[in-house]
Amino acid sequence: MTTAKPKTDVQALMISTTKQVTSFRRAGMSFTQSPTLVPLDDLDEDQIKALKAEPMLRVDEVTELDDDAKAAIQSGAGE
């Protein structure tokens, strides 16, 4: 019997377009080559799947937020 791996505590997604794309929209949001921090609380499961599956976007999971990132999220800079 195998044991399930523990889930990581992903708090946000860091999203940017790939090098060949300057601007792109997906899941109701616009992205550029500058990374955008999007809190997971702002996304539903379908949006997360769509963002991660999109080849025009680079999506990295963020498990720890530093103070600057937390402040950016609280001020709405991740929108």
Output the pLDDT for position 70. 67
Residue spans of the domains in the chain: they are 12-75
What long-range pairs does 29-36 form, CB within 8 A, spacing at least 24? Answer: 29/79, 31/57, 36/78
Q: What is the pLDDT of residue 5?
A: 38
Q: What is the pLDDT of residue 4?
A: 45
Give kind and range of the element (H or E) at residue 48.
helix 45-53
Diameter over CA atoms, the chain: 47
Alpha carbon distance 24, 39 (integer Å): 19
Question: Could you list the pLDDT tens digit for every one of the 79 residues in the chain?
Answer: 444 434 558 889 999 999 999 999 999 999 999 999 999 989 999 999 999 999 999 999 998 877 777 666 665 554 4
